[in-house]
C-alpha cells in the first residue's frame, strides 16, 4: 500500500524525506508509472500477430504422435513452420479427472532452464486431487486425432495436425477451441545474436569503448599460465566477462576481466570472449591487426537483408564472409574477413564464433626446409570460421585430407583438417601463392600459447590438389531462418528510468482460446472492472489487454484492465452448450486480449516467459466446472468460525490504551465483532515480529484482555526486511543466504519500503521457507499468543523505488530463477509460509489475510481488494470484483468497508456496512490520514443502523459457515453471480449489480447516493423479503423500497437455512446458542437445506452435516424431516428454538414432532405473516421430523 507517511515523520525523518519523493498525495493512481502493452516488448510483438499473416504457424510433425490409453496421454512434436530450423517442441495432452484436458508445450533442450509454474516447489497444483480420467478412447484419422472421454463419454477432443489446433466438444457441440486463430507462439531461448543454428554468437556495439573494460573483477584479479586455467576460473567468477592475454606478463600472461560481451584488447593484448555454449571453443580477436578490421562489403553478396538470420545463413555459405554489420537503417550487410568486424558509430557487427562440435586435437606434420629447429606444428582446436580465400585446395597427409586456403587480402595461407578448422596460418614476405615457399608462420598450441616462426622456408607437400569453386548459393526464404529477427526490447528494456537487462533474451509464449457459443466470459482476477470481461480488440471495450502482473497500485482506477495486486489466469465461459474454463498456468507477466469472433468470445494469452501449460475444463454446469478447477489448484481452506465474523482494523491503533478503548467501545454500544487488527506502527521501527517497546510494552497482556472476551488479534507482517545490523531477522537472512539476489547473483537485492532500506526474503528457497515458518513459534515471535493471527501486505512485492513499484525482473531467486518467471507467485509463497507457520505452532486452523495472490492462494487464507477509496463508485464496483474472485476459485474475499482512502459520509459508510455484511470477508479499515470511523462515532441513528447491519452478519453465521463448507468441498463460491444458480436465464449472464450469498439469499446493494428504492431482478421462482416476508414471484423485475436502514435481500423459494437470532459480543459466545430454522417453500410446497457443524477451529475436526427437506405427503400434509451424515464423533447440544415458515402465517392447524421414538404436539403461531413453530426443543444434531396439517 502506497500510504501517506505523515504519522511516521517524527519517528523516521529520513524515511519521511524518501516518502515525499515517492508518495506525494495524488487524487488517483499515476498511470504513467505502470506499463501498457505497447511498453512491454513481448506483449507488443505478440499482439501484432494475426494468425497466418504474422504468426509463426505450428504443425504436428508427421510420425511423432504416440497415444497411451493406459496413462490417458497423447504425445507429439510441434514444428514451427515459419522458423523450421528450430527444434520441434514436445507437446503432451493429458486427460484428467472428470472433464479436464491439459496441454503442455515446452522446449526439449533449452539454452536456459525454462521455469514451469507447475513445479512442485511452486505449490500451485494439488497432485492428490489430480488423477487420469477413468477412460479415454483414441482414434486417429488422416489429419487429426480424436479422444473421447468423461464418465458418460460426453466429451470429445479433436487435435488437428496441420495447422495445429484443438477443438473440444460437449455432447458433440464445439465448446472450446485452441489455436483456432493461429496465435500460438513459443519463443525458444536463443543466443543473443542468432546466426549459426548450432552455435552461440556474440555482438558488440559501437563505439567500442562502451564495452572495453580494463580492470580486473573485484573478486578474481588473478593471473594464469594457460588460457584453459583462466577460462575455467572465469566461468566460476561472478562478473567475469572474459580473459585478456598480456605477452608482457611473463609466465602468467592471462588475466580475468569484468563485463559480459567483448573485452578490451589494447596493443599487444589479446582478449577472449566468454560466450559459447558447451561444445564450442573460445575465439581470440586482436584489433591491432588491421587486416582483421574490415569495412568493405562482401562483393559476392553486397546487398542488404531485412533478417539477421538470413544474412547469417548466407554468410555461412559464402567464402570470405567474416560476419555481418547491422547498419543504421535496420538492414544487415555481409562483410569480408575473419572473426572481428568494424563497428563504427551507428553500426553493429555480429561475430561468428564457433562450430557445433569440438574438433579433435590432431598433430599435423608440416615438412620444412631452411629452418631445422622446428619440425611440426601441433594443430589446436580453435575455430577460425570464415577465413576462406578465393582458392581452395585439398592435400593428403597420412591418409587424411587437409584443406589449404589462400587469402588475397591477408596474403596468407591457412591449413586445417576441415573447412571450419584453420589452425595454422602462414605468411609470406610478399604476394606468393606458391605454398612451397613461405617465410613466416603463426600457429596456436591447444589454445595455451602461440608461436611465431619468421624467415623460415616452409614446405608443404601437396598431393592431388583440386581447386574447388564456391558452388551455388542455396535458395534461402524467410521461412529458413531459425529465429525471428531481433527487435527492440528483446535483449534489454527500460521503463521509468529502470533497466531490465534481460540476460536470457526473448522467451515469450502465447496461445489463443475460443469459447464457442459464449456471449460472455468471466475471470482474470484481479481487475477493477465488470464481471463480464470486455473486449480489448476493436470498438466498444478497452483499448488495452487485461494485464496480470501483481503490483502495489495506489488508489486504483475503476473500469480499466490495469493490473492490480493479484493474478489468477483463469477464464470461464457459460452458454447453452455448457460451462468451460481455460486455466493458463504461467506465473510471469501476462496480457490477455479478449475479442469477438464468429464462433464466440476468444482470448489471446501472452506471457513473457515460462512454458505453455493450459488446462481446458469441460462441464455441463457451472458448479461442475468450478469443482474441476478446485481439483487442480485446491479448494478454499475452511476458516475458523471467528474469521467469518466482523474485523475492526485501522492504520493504526496507536497503543495499548487505544486498543483497550476500541474494544470497550464495541461492548458499550452492543456491536459484535471478533478481531482487532494492528498495522505497521505496532512494530519496533518497522521490524516485523517485534513490538514497539513504548506503545506496546505488554503485548501478551493486551491479547489476554481480548481473549478473555472471546476475541482475537491480527498483526501485519510483510516480506521486506529492514537492513539493520541489529535486527535479528536481517542478520539471519544475511548469514544464511535467505534474500532474493540482484542480477549478479552475488549480493542481496535491495530496495525501499516502509522501514527504509530493505531486502526481500526468497520464499522459493526451502531454507527461507522453513526459517519463516519457525518465526511464528511462540519462542521466536516474542509477545505473540494463541489468539494472534497474521496479515501479509506489500507482498507483490512492493518496492517503492523499483520499476512499477515492484522488484526488478532480472533479480534472482533460488537456483538462479529470474524474478520475471515467478513474479506473480511471490505473494502466494509469502502467505503459504505464513499459513504453515501458524499451523506449526497451533492445533487450530490458521488465519492469514494476503493482498497478493495467485491460483492456489485460496488454500492459504483470505484476500482483500486493496487500496480502495471512500467513494460510491468503489462501493459499487466491489461487487463485480468479489464475484470475479469467486469465479476464479478464491471465495474468501472482501473489500475494505468504508474505503481505505478518504472519509466516507455517514450514508456511504452505512450502505457499505450493509453490503459488507454479505461479503465473505467482512472488515472495516481506514488510512492513517482518515478520520476515525468506529461504528459508534457518528451518533444516532447511524450507530443503530450500523449495529443492525453487523448483527445481520452474525445472525447468518451458521448459513455463511455452511457455504464455506461447500466452498471447501465443492469449489463453489460463497458470494455467487446469478448465472451460477440460474444457468438457463440469459438475462443474468452479465448481471453484476446484485448477487447471491450461497445458493439461497439474493442481495441487491444500494450503491447510489440518496437512493431509497432500487430495481431488483427476480429469477424464476419464489423470493421472500427477509425482513417483511413479502413474496415476489419471478421471473420479473420489480422496484422495491430501500430505506436508509435496509439493504434488500431475499430468501429463495425452496431453501431452508439455519440462523442464530440472539445478539452476542462475538462468534465464540454464540457457540452454544440455539438455532432458528427458516423455510421458504416453493409453490409446490418443497424446500431443502443443509447445516454444517464442527468445533469451529480445529485443523481436523469431526463434523456433522444436517440435511433438512420439506415436501407434501400423500395425505396432503407437509413433512419436514432432518437427516445426519457424520465424520467422527462430535458432541453438539444446541437445540432448535423456532422453525419459521415464511409467508405462511395461517396455513397450518396442527404440528407434530417425531423425535427419538416419541411424538409431541407443538404450538404454531402467526407472527407477522409467518408460521412460527415455537420451542420444538429438538437438538440440531439429531434426526427428527415435523408433520404439519394444512
With cell 576462406, the residue in question is: 388
The three-state (H, E, C) secondary structure of 248-317, written as one string: HHCCCCEEEEECCCCCCCCCCCEEEECCCCCCCCCCEECCCCHHHCECCECHHHCCCECCHHHHHHHHHH
Report how far apart, in Å, the C-alpha atoms of 627 and of each of 148, 995, 1105 are: 21, 20, 20
Q: Are 46 and 62 in contact (CB under 8 A)?
A: no
- DSSP E strands in 654-733: the ranges are 675-678, 712-716, 720-722
Strand duo 848-850 + 788-792: pairing = parallel
Number of Cβ within 10 Å of residue 985's Cβ equals 16
**Cα distance between residue 756 and residue 763, in whole Å:** 21
Number of Cβ within 10 Å of residue 91's Cβ equals 23
Q: Are 851 and 796 in contact (CB under 8 A)?
A: yes
Give the DSSP letter of residue 128: G
Residue 822's H or E segment, with its range, is: helix 819-822
**Cα distance between residue 830 and residue 761, in whole Å:** 9
The b/e string for 204-234 (b: 16+ C-beta within 10 A; e otherwise) is bbeebeebbbeebbeebebbbeebebbbebb
With cell 494476503, the residue in question is: 850
**Cα distance between residue 142 and residue 929, in whole Å:** 69
Number of Cβ within 10 Å of residue 329's Cβ equals 7
Burial class (CB in 10 A: 0-12, 13-18, 19+), 1154: middle
**Cα distance between residue 214 and residue 236, in whole Å:** 19
Q: Tell me the three state secondary structure of residue 899.
A: coil
765 contact partners, CB below 8 Å, separation of at least 6:
737, 738, 813, 814
Q: Tell me the three state secondary structure of residue 772.
A: helix
**Cα distance between residue 230 and residue 274, in whole Å:** 11
Q: For residue 359, give the nearest of 444, 456, 430 by alpha carbon.
A: 444
Q: Are 536 and 572 in contact (CB under 8 A)?
A: no
Give the DSSP letter of residue 1077: E
DSSP letter for each residue of 426-455: EE-SS----TT-EEEEEEEETTTEEEEEEE
Give the DSSP letter of residue 504: T
With cell 487442480, the residue in question is: 632
Q: For residue 227, give the nearest of 449, 499, 456, 416 by alpha carbon.
A: 449
**Cα distance between residue 904 and residue 1007, in whole Å:** 13
Q: Which residues are catalytic?
A: 793, 796, 867
Count of residues in the chain: 1190
Q: For residue 293, give the nearest of 355, 208, 420 by alpha carbon.
A: 208
Q: Are 108 and 90 in contact (CB under 8 A)?
A: yes
Amino acid at each position: 500500500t502506497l500510504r501517506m507517511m505523515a504519522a511516521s515523520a517524527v519517528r523516521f525523518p529520513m524515511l519521511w524525506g524518501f516518502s515525499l519523493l515517492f508518495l506525494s498525495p495524488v487524487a488517483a493512481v499515476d498511470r504513467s508509472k505502470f506499463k501498457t502493452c505497447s511498453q512491454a516488448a513481448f506483449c507488443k510483438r505478440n499482439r501484432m500477430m494475426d494468425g497466418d499473416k504474422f504468426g509463426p504457424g505450428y504443425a504436428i510433425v508427421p510420425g511423432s504422435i504416440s497415444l497411451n490409453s493406459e496413462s490417458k496421454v497423447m504425445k507429439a512434436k510441434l514444428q514451427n513452420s515459419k522458423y523450421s530450423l528450430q527444434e520441434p517442441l514436445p507437446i503432451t495432452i493429458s486427460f484428467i479427472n472428470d472433464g479436464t484436458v491439459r496441454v503442455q508445450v515446452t522446449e526439449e533442450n533449452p539454452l536456459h532452464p525454462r521455469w514451469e509454474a507447475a513445479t512442485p516447489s511452486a505449490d500451485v497444483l494439488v497432485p492428490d486431487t489430480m488423477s487420469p480420467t477413468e477412460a479415454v478412447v483414441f482414434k486417429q484419422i488422416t489429419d487429426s486425432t480424436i479422444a473421447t472421454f468423461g464418465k458418460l463419454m460426453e466429451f470429445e477432443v479433436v487435435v488437428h495436425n496441420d495447422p495445429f489446433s484443438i477443438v473440444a466438444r460437449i455432447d458433440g457441440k464445439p465448446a472450446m477451441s485452441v489455436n483456432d486463430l493461429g496465435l500460438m507462439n513459443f519463443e525458444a531461448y536463443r543466443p543473443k545474436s542468432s546466426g549459426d543454428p548450432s552455435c552461440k554468437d556474440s555482438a558488440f556495439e559501437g563505439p567500442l569503448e562502451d564495452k572495453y573494460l580494463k580492470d580486473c573483477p573485484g573478486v578474481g584479479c588473478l593471473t594464469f599460465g594457460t588460457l584453459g586455467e583462466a577460462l575455467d576460473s572465469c566461468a566460476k567468477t561472478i562478473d567475469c566477462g572474459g580473459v585478456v592475454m598480456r605477452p608482457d606478463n611473463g609466465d602468467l600472461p592471462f588475466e580475468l576481466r569484468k563485463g559480459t560481451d567483448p573485452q578490451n584488447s589494447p596493443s599487444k593484448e589479446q582478449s577472449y570472449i566468454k560466450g559459447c555454449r558447451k561444445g564450442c571453443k573460445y575465439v581470440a580477436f586482436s584489433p591491432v591487426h588491421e587486416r582483421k578490421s574490415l569495412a568493405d562489403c562482401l562483393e559476392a553478396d553486397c546487398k542488404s537483408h531485412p533478417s539477421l538470420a538470413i544474412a547469417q545463413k548466407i554468410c555461412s555459405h559464402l567464402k570470405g564472409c567474416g560476419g555481418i554489420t547491422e547498419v543504421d537503417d535496420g538492414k544487415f550487410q555481409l562483410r569480408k574477413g575473419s572473426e572481428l568486424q568494424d563497428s563504427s558509430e551507428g553500426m553493429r557487427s555480429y561475430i561468428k564464433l564457433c562450430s557445433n562440435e569440438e574438433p579433435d586435437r590432431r598433430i599435423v606434420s608440416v615438412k620444412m626446409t631452411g629452418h631445422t629447429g622446428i619440425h611440426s606444428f601441433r594443430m589446436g582446436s580453435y575455430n577460425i570460421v570464415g577465413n576462406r580465400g578465393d582458392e581452395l585446395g585439398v592435400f593428403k597427409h597420412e591418409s587424411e585430407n587437409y584443406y589449404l586456403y589462400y587469402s588475397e587480402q591477408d596474403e596468407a595461407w591457412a591449413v586445417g583438417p576441415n573447412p571450419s578448422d584453420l589452425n595454422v596460418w602462414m605468411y609470406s614476405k610478399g604476394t606468393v601463392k606458391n605454398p612451397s615457399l613461405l617465410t613466416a608462420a603463426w600457429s596456436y598450441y591447444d589454445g595455451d600459447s602461440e608461436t611465431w616462426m619468421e624467415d623460415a622456408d616452409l614446405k608443404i607437400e601437396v598431393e592431388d590438389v583440386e581447386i574447388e569453386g564456391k558452388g551455388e548459393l542455396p535458395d534461402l526464404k524467410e521461412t529458413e531462418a531459425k529465429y525471428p529477427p531481433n527487435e527492440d526490447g528483446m535483449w534489454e528494456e527500460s521503463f521509468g528510468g529502470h533497466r531490465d537487462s534481460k540476460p536470457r533474451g526473448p522467451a515469450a509464449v502465447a496461445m489463443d482460446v475460443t469459447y464457442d457459443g459464449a456471449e460472455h466470459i468471466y475471470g482474470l482476477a484481479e481487475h477493477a472492472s465488470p464481471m463480464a470481461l470486455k473486449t480489448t480488440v476493436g470498438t466498444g471495450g478497452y483499448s488495452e489487454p487485461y494485464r496480470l502482473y501483481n503490483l502495489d497500485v495506489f488508489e486504483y482506477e475503476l473500469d480499466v484492465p490495469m493490473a492490480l495486486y493479484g493474478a489468477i489466469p483463469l477464464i470461464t465461459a457459460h452458454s447453452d452448450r455448457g460451462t468451460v474454463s481455460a486455466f493458463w498456468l504461467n506465473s510471469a507477466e501476462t496480457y490477455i486480449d479478449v475479442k469477438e469472433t464468429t464462433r464466440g468470445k476468444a482470448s489471446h494469452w501472452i506471457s513473457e516467459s515460462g512454458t505453455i501449460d493450459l488446462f481446458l475444463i469441460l462441464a455441463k454446469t457451472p458448479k461442475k466446472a468450478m469443482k474441476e478447477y478446485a481439483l487442480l489448484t485446491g479448494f478454499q481452506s475452511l476458516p475458523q468460525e471467528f474469521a467469518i465474523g466482523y474485523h475492526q482494523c485501522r492504520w493504526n491503533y496507536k497503543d495499548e490504551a487505544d486498543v483497550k478503548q476500541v474494544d470497550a467501545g464495541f461492548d458499550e454500544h452492543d456491536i459484535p465483532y471478533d478481531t482487532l487488527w494492528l498495522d505497521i506502527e505496532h512494530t519496533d521501527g518497522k521490524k516485523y515480529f517485534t513490538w514497539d517497546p513504548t506503545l506496546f510494552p505488554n503485548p501478551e497482556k493486551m491479547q489476554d484482555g481480548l481473549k478473555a472476551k472471546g476475541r482475537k488479534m491480527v498483526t501485519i507482517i510483510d516480506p521486506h526486511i529492514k537492513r539493520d545490523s541489529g535486527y535479528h531477522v536481517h542478520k539471519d537472512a544475511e548469514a544464511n543466504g535467505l534474500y532474493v539476489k540482484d542480477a549478479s547473483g552475488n549480493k542481496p537485492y535491495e530496495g525501499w519500503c516502509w522501514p527504509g532500506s530493505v531486502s526481500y526474503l526468497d520464499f522459493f528457497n526451502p531454507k527461507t521457507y522453513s526459517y519463516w515458518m519457525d518465526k511464528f513459534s511462540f519462542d521466536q515471535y516474542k509477545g505473540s499468543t494463541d489468539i494472534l493471527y497474521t496479515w501479509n501486505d506489500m507482498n507483490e512485492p512492493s518496492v517503492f523505488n523499483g520499476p512499477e513499484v515492484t522488484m526488478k525482473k532480472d533479480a534472482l531467486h533460488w537456483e538462479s530463477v529470474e524474478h520475471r518467471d515467478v513474479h506473480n507467485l511471490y505473494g502466494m509463497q509469502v502467505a503459504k509460509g505464513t499459513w504453515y507457520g501458524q499451523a506449526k505452532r497451533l492445533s487450530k486452523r490458521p488465519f492469514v489475510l494476503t493482498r497478493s495472490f495467485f491460483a492456489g492462494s485460496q488454500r492459504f487464507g483470505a484476500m482483500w481488494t486493496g487500496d480502495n477509496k471512500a467513494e460510491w463508485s468503489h462501493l459499487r464496483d466491489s461487487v463485480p470484483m468479489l464475484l470475479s474472485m469467486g469465479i476464479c476459485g478464491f471465495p474468501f474475499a472482501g473489500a475494505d468497508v468504508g474505503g481505505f482512502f478518504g472519509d466516507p459520509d455517514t450514508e456511504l459508510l452505512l450502505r457499505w456496512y450493509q453490503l459488507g455484511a454479505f461479503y465473505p470477508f467482512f472488515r472495516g479499515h481506514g488510512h492513517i490520514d482518515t478520520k476515525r470511523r468506529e461504528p459508534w462515532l457518528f451518533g444516532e441513528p447511524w450507530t443503530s443502523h450500523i449495529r443492525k447491519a453487523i448483527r445481520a452478519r452474525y445472525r447468518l453465521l451458521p448459513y455463511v459457515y455452511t457455504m464455506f463448507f461447500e466452498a471447501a468441498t465443492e469449489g463453489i463460491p460463497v458470494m455467487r453471480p446469478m448465472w451460477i444458480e440460474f444457468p438457463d436465464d440469459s438475462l443474468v449472464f452479465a448481471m453484476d449489480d446484485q448477487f447471491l450469498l450461497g445458493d439461497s439469499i439474493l442481495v441487491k446493494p444500494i450503491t447510489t447516493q440518496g437512493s431509497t428504492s432500487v430495481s431488483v431482478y427476480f429469477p424464476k421462482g419464489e423470493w421472500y423479503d427477509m425482513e417483511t416476508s413479502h413474496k415476489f414471484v419471478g421471473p420479473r423485475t420489480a422496484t422495491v423500497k430501500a430505506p436508509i436502514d435496509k439493504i434488500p435481500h431475499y430468501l429463495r423459494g425452496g431453501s431452508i437455512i439455519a440462523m442464530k437470532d440472539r445478539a452476542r459480543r462475538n462468534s465464540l459466545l454464540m457457540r452454544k446458542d440455539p438455532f432458528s430454522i427458516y423455510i421458504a417453500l416453493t409453490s409446490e410446497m418443497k424446500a431443502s437445506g443443509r447445516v454444517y457443524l464442527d468445533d469451529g477451529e480445529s485443523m481436523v475436526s469431526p463434523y456433522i452435516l444436517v440435511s433438512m427437506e420439506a415436501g407434501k405427503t400423500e395425505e396432503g400434509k407437509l413433512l419436514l424431516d432432518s437427516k445426519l451424515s457424520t465424520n467422527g464423533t462430535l458432541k453438539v447440544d444446541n437445540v432448535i428454538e423456532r422453525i419459521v415458515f415464511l409467508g405462511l402465517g395461517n396455513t397450518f392447524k396442527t404440528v407434530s414432532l417425531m423425535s427419538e421414538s416419541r411424538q409431541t404436539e407443538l404450538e404454531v403461531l402467526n407472527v407477522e405473516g409467518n408460521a412460527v413453530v415455537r420451542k420444538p426443543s429438538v437438538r440440531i444434531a439429531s434426526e427428527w421430523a415435523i408433520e404439519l396439517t394444512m
